[in-house]
């Protein structure tokens, strides 16, 4: 007997044999049982999901002379003819190669003839979305009101390309991607029938590689059997199909967590030298970090299509990354996957991205950082110190090299009733300092990032129409300099005074400010060290994520 590939040898012959599509097969059997058969069906879904197979089973079931529980008996002449593809009552048409109006005209003429042996003439058009628009239009009238002995079954992998005028005249059934577990179960049954020994990890590899398509899984199974014989192991499957070993993904993630750029570049070279597809490597790595994300999020490990050995390994490996780190890495790898398709030098792009990943700092959410700040404040080192003065070094003003800064008694003024009122006299620095929070709030409503920056600087003095603003570092200095006109306009709107903005870069040497109380005693109660910590946190958050 001639060799028959697994996909044909084990093609389902009754509704129950169709894997993973019970929601469709049950409905079709009920329709037959209740004699509520539609004149047209659309079966949509991915490749290898069972569309054409289900169409043939339906054609056999409605034409079978001795149906068994609304399934075809597969023993009568009608069933044999349909199974062998020689039935005059079931016409299968490839929509990709018979897409013209002329082909549809033949169908319109053929529907007038009664079935030869069975009860129905069935037209199965595969890849129906490939028909031309003129062909679809030619089919419309016949499809809407066909003779009672005609049933149309359309199969397509791209349902969005089928005109709505066609879909509205059909019952639509969407075929699901077949799950990894269902594919494994089917391959196990085939292996038992064929007397082939194959371990669970091998079946898992084949099922994942098939990507929801049973036909692909069976073709891969045939390839592995041809190479390995009747005893198959996971190592042989990986070697035969030239697949990327999962261990490589773990080595990559470990190198990223250790900031080991050399190891990452070495692994990329290994992937290239072994002839692996770069895009497939990136896709596999995205899935690898997706598995980590699931474990890190305390979701069920059953969501991972991996063996028990790798589940425990993911549980261990995921501890080296935060949830935010994993999300960031997946985002970067997703952009890399898209970019590789158009890159003239995909290896260079791959290397550059992975070097970037090794240089990336860990990310924390703001609630965690604020909690850490509260813990720091409990440390005695950060408690307020007494009897210290602040020495400030003004880097831009030579004549103010080092001075002792003693804050005067807090100015007590009547609150400004209407900020937008005309201010005839020159604006005093004391008024500006008291109302600085108002300026920050107003800036935040218009430009949130600038509002945050203004909350970390302070007005120093007004000289010759210029407002000097003290900045503790280069970042805030540059930000104030860039936004000078905006800040000046903001002050003009609030106080009706024109002031130029002049940022001043200062360097704090001692970290406690001295204030003078109302009775003349000096007391030290403001501890800018806490402000420094907030500055560091703010600077960390100010950077845009990659």
Give the Cβ contact number of residue 36 at 10 Å.
8
Q: Is residue 543 part of a domain?
A: no
Dist CA 177 CA 172 (whole Å): 16
Q: Name the band, by pLDDT with cuts 50, 70 and 90, for residue 517.
A: very low
What is the per-residue pLDDT across 179-195, written as a single tens digit (0 to 9) for each?
888 999 999 999 999 99
For residues 486 and 450, is the Cβ–Cβ distance under 8 A?
Answer: yes
Please give the pLDDT value at position 378: 63
Q: Is residue 544 part of a domain?
A: no
- Nearest residue to 93 (alpha-carbon basis) of 126, 121, 122: 126
Do 423 and 439 belong together in one domain? yes
Q: For the chain, what is the largest distance between any 2 Cα atoms, rounded to a whole number of angstroms?
A: 115
Q: Name the band, by pLDDT with cuts 50, 70 and 90, for residue 72.
A: very high
Beta pairing class for 458-463 and 466-471 = antiparallel
Please give the pLDDT value at position 398: 41
Quote the Cα angle for 435-438-444, to 5°.
150
What number is the average pLDDT over the span 59-80?
Answer: 93
- Does the structure show a pLDDT above 60 at 495? yes
Q: In angstroms, what CA-CA distances link 283 with 286, 309, 475?
A: 5, 21, 38
Do 18 and 164 belong together in one domain? yes
Number of structural domains in the chain: 4
> 476 is written with which tokens?
């805030």
Dist CA 351 CA 530 (whole Å): 41
What is the chain's mean pLDDT, rounded?
Answer: 82
Q: Name the band, by pLDDT with cuts 50, 70 and 90, for residue 507.
A: low
Interhelix angle 474-482/528-542, rounded to 10 degrees, is: 70
- Nearest residue to 72 (alpha-carbon basis) of 34, 111, 28: 28
Alpha carbon 386 to its chain centroid, in Å, reads 53
Do 423 and 349 belong together in one domain? no
Please give the pLDDT value at position 513: 44
Q: What is the CATH number of the domain that holds 140?
A: 3.40.50.300
- Nearest residue to 210 (alpha-carbon basis) of 192, 189, 186, 191: 186
Please give the pLDDT value at position 121: 94
Do 155 and 189 belong together in one domain? no
Do 30 and 161 belong together in one domain? yes
Do 79 and 192 belong together in one domain? no
Last residue of a domain, one of 241, 258, 290: 241
Q: What is the CATH number of the domain that holds 334?
A: 1.20.272.10
Do 50 and 133 belong together in one domain? yes
Quote the Cα angle for 121-124-126, to 5°.
170
- Nearest residue to 460 (alpha-carbon basis) of 480, 478, 433, 441: 433
Last residue of a domain, one of 215, 241, 267: 241
Last residue of a domain, one of 174, 197, 222: 174
What number is the average pLDDT over the span 336-364?
Answer: 86
Q: What is the CATH number of the domain that holds 196?
A: 1.10.8.60
Dist CA 117 CA 64 (whole Å): 10
What is the per-residue pLDDT across 380-406, written as a single tens digit (0 to 9) for each?
544 443 334 444 444 444 443 343 443
- Does the structure show a pLDDT above 60 at 227? yes
- Nearest residue to 175 (alpha-carbon basis) of 24, 324, 281, 352: 24
Q: Is residue 365 part of a domain?
A: no
What is the per-residue pLDDT across 526-538, written as a single tens digit (0 to 9) for each?
455 555 555 555 5
For residues 164 and 189, is the Cβ–Cβ distance under 8 A?
Answer: no
- Does the structure show a pLDDT above 60 at 443? yes
Please give the pLDDT value at position 412: 37
Q: Which of 22-36, 188-202, 388-402, 500-514 is the least confident region?
A: 388-402
Please give the pLDDT value at position 537: 53
- Nearest residue to 186 (alpha-carbon basis) of 28, 16, 334, 56: 16
Instruction: Output 31 or 435, whichever has higher pLDDT.
Output: 31
Please give the pLDDT value at position 532: 52
Range of the structural domain that residue 311 is part of: 246-359
For residues 324 and 367, is the Cβ–Cβ distance under 8 A?
Answer: no
C-alpha dihedral sign at 201, 202, 203, 204: positive
- Nearest residue to 13 (alpha-carbon basis) of 89, 115, 84: 84
Instruction: Output 397 or 462, whichever has higher pLDDT.
Output: 462
Do 144 and 186 belong together in one domain? no
Do 160 and 87 belong together in one domain? yes
Do 154 and 200 belong together in one domain? no
For residues 421 and 496, is the Cβ–Cβ distance under 8 A?
Answer: yes
Q: Is residue 252 part of a domain?
A: yes
Please give the pLDDT value at position 445: 85
Q: Which residues contact 526 (CB under 8 A, 6 or more apart)?
A: 384, 512, 513, 515
Q: Name the band, by pLDDT with cuts 50, 70 and 90, for residue 514.
A: very low
Q: Is residue 546 part of a domain?
A: no
Do 303 and 400 belong together in one domain? no
DSSP state of 68: B
- Does the structure show a pLDDT above 50 at 355? yes
Q: Is residue 30 part of a domain?
A: yes
- Does the structure show a pLDDT above 70 at 352? yes
pTM of the model: 0.63
What is the per-residue pLDDT across 289-335, written as a single tens digit (0 to 9) for each?
999 898 888 888 778 877 777 888 888 888 888 888 899 999 999 99
- Nearest residue to 165 (alpha-carbon basis) of 135, 123, 124: 135
First CA to last CA across the chain, in angstroms? 61
Do 77 and 147 belong together in one domain? yes
Dist CA 491 CA 501 (whole Å): 10
Dist CA 248 CA 235 (whole Å): 14
What is the per-residue pLDDT across 230-250, written as a single tens digit (0 to 9) for each?
899 988 998 898 888 888 999
- Does the structure show a pLDDT above 80 at 368? no
Q: What is the CATH number of the domain that holds 444?
A: 3.30.300.180
Instruction: Output 285 or 391, whichever has higher pLDDT.
Output: 285
> 262 is written with which tokens?
């050399």
Q: Is residue 538 part of a domain?
A: no
Q: Is residue 371 part of a domain?
A: no
What is the per-residue pLDDT across 92-144, written as a single tens digit (0 to 9) for each?
999 988 888 988 999 998 898 899 888 999 999 999 999 999 999 999 988 98
- Does the structure show a pLDDT above 70 at 417? no
């Amino acid at each position: 007997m001639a060799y028959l590939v697994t996909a044909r040898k084990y093609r389902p012959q009754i509704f129950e044999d169709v894997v993973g599509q019970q929601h469709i097969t049950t409905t079709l059997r009920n329709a037959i049982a209740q004699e509520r058969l539609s004149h047209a069906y659309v079966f949509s879904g991915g490749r290898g999901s069972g569309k054409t197979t289900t169409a043939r089973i339906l054609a056999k079931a409605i034409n079978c002379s001795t149906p068994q529980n609304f399934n075809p008996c597969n023993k009568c002449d009608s069933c044999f003819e349909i199974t062998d593809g020689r039935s005059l009552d079931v016409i299968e048409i490839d929509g990709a190669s018979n897409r013209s109006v002329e082909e549809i005209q033949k169908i319109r003429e053929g529907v007038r003839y009664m079935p030869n042996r069975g009860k129905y003439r069935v037209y199965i058009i595969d890849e129906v979305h490939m028909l031309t628009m003129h062909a679809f239009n030619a089919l419309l009238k016949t499809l809407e009101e066909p003779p009672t002995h005609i049933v149309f079954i359309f199969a397509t992998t791209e349902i969005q390309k089928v005109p709505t005028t066609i879909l509205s005249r059909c019952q639509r059934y969407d075929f699901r991607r077949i799950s990894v577990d269902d594919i494994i179960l089917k391959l196990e049954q085939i292996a038992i029938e064929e007397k082939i020994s194959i371990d669970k990890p091998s079946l898992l590899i084949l099922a994942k590689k098939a990507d929801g398509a049973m036909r692909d899984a069976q073709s891969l199974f045939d390839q592995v059997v041809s190479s390995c014989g009747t005893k198959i192991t996971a190592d042989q499957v990986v070697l035969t199909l030239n697949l990327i070993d999962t261990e490589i993904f773990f080595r990559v993630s470990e190198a990223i967590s250790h900031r080991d750029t050399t190891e990452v570049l070495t692994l990329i070279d290994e992937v290239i030298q072994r002839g692996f597809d770069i895009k497939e490597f990136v896709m596999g790595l995205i899935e690898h970090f997706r598995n980590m994300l699931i474990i890190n999020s305390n979701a069920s490990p059953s969501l991972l299509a991996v063996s028990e050995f790798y589940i425990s390994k993911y549980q261990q490996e995921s501890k080296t990354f935060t949830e935010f780190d994993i999300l960031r890495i997946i985002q970067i790898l997703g952009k890399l996957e898209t970019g590789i398709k158009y890159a003239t030098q995909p290896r260079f792009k791959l290397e550059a991205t992975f070097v970037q990943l090794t240089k990336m700092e860990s990310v924390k959410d703001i609630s965690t950082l604020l909690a850490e700040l509260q813990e720091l404040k409990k440390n005695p080192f950060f408690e307020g110190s007494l009897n210290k003065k602040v020495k400030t070094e003004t880097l831009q003003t030579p004549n103010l090299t080092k001075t002792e800064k003693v804050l005067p008694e807090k100015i007590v003024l009547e609150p400004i009733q209407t900020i937008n009122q005309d201010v005839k006299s020159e604006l005093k620095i004391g008024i500006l300092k008291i109302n600085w929070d108002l300026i920050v709030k107003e800036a935040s409503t218009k430009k949130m990032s600038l509002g945050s920056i203004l909350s970390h600087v302070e007005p120093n003095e007004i000289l010759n129409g210029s407002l000097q603003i003290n900045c503790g570092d280069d970042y805030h200095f540059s930000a104030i300099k860039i936004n000078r006109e905006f800040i000046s306009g903001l002050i003009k709107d609030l106080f009706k005074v024109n002031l130029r903005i002049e940022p001043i870069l200062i360097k704090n040497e001692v970290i406690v400010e001295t204030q003078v109380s109302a009775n003349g005693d000096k007391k030290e109660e403001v501890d800018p060290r806490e402000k420094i910590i907030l500055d560091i946190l703010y600077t960390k958050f100010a950077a845009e994520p990659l």
